[in-house]
């Protein structure tokens, strides 16, 4: 976060926290519900985050840049997109997990298109989520969604990646 934005962020946080505190003292219903939502959702995400970031850190020190570049780099061909989809299938959590992982992959030399495929695919084909979906909405529904969404997502991400590469796009984290 840029230093210039820090005061705004802090001010908003204080206002939000103050609102929640006010609500809990004076029994203001909407505020109490928001606190409940905030607590449930935070706990659910925060219990995964330490693991995710530790694994990313270990990945960073153990996996060689050349390895990532060879399999997921810009010049590693169509197979790299398949790896991205398979990797996405094993991802847990949502985009809040996929983004840090994508950033770690990118800093190790993965191509722009590959990380875009990974982030988008992790939204739609995580295995635990898919099993859950099928059990509620039926296999037919899930299969139709897979058959249409995966090719589309890969196609769109690859084209977007090429476009960005032509424009000389660099992931913001890497400019620091």
Partner 1 sequence: MSSSNTLSNPHWTGARSETSFHADGRKGNNVIILYAFTAAALLVSFIADMRKTIRGLEIALKRFLRIGPAFLTMLVLVSIALFVFPEETIARSLTSGSIWLATGIGTLIGSIAVMPGFIAFPLGSVLRNSGAPYMVVSGFTTTLMMVGILTFPMEKKYFGVRLALLRNLLAFLTALAVAFATGLYFGETGF
Q: Is 60 in the site for partner 1 (CB under 8 A)?
A: yes
Q: What's the min distance (Å) between Cβ of 70 and partner 1?
A: 21
- Specify the DSSP element, H or E, that contains 99: helix 95-107
For partner 1, the closer of residues 22 and 141 by Cβ is 141
**Selected binder of partner 1 within 23, 53, 69, 83 (CB under 8 A):** 53
Q: What's the min distance (Å) between Cβ of 84 and partner 1?
A: 15
CB 113 within 8 A of CB 157: yes
Query: Cα–Cα distance between 164 and 170 in angstroms, integer?
Result: 8
Structure tokens at 2: 């840029």
- Specify the DSSP element, H or E, that contains 123: helix 112-124
Task: Give burial (CB, 10 Å; 0-12/13-18/19+) of 126.
Answer: buried
CA 142 to chain centre: 21
**Selected binder of partner 1 within 11, 18, 57, 67 (CB under 8 A):** 57
Query: Cα–Cα distance between 56 and 69 in angstroms, integer?
Result: 17
Number of residues that bind partner 1 (CB under 8 A): 66
**Selected binder of partner 1 within 33, 67, 70, 79 (CB under 8 A):** 33
Name the site residues for partner 1 (rule: CB under 8 A): 1, 6, 9, 12-13, 16, 30, 33-35, 37-38, 41-42, 44-45, 47-51, 53-58, 60-62, 92, 94-96, 99-100, 102-104, 116, 119-120, 123-124, 126, 128-129, 132-133, 135-137, 141, 144-145, 148-149, 152-153, 156, 160, 164, 169, 171-173
């Amino acid at each position: 976060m840029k230093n210039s934005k820090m005061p705004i962020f802090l001010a908003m946080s204080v206002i939000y926290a103050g609102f929640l505190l006010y609500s809990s003292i004076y029994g203001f219903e909407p505020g109490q519900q928001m606190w409940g939502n905030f607590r449930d959702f935070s706990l659910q995400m925060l219990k995964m985050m330490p693991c995710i970031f530790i694994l990313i850190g270990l990945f960073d020190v153990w996996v060689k840049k050349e390895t990532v570049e060879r399999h997921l780099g810009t010049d590693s061909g169509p197979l790299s997109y398949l790896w991205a989809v398979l990797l996405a299938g094993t991802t847990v959590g949502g985009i809040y997990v996929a983004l840090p992982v994508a950033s770690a992959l990118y800093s190790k030399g993965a191509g722009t298109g590959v990380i875009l495929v990974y982030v988008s695919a992790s939204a739609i084909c995580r295995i635990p989520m898919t099993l859950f979906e099928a059990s509620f909405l039926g296999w037919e529904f899930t299969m139709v969604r897979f058959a249409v969404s995966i090719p589309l997502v890969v196609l769109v991400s690859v084209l977007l990646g090429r476009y960005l590469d032509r424009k000389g796009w660099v992931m913001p984290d890497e400019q620091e």
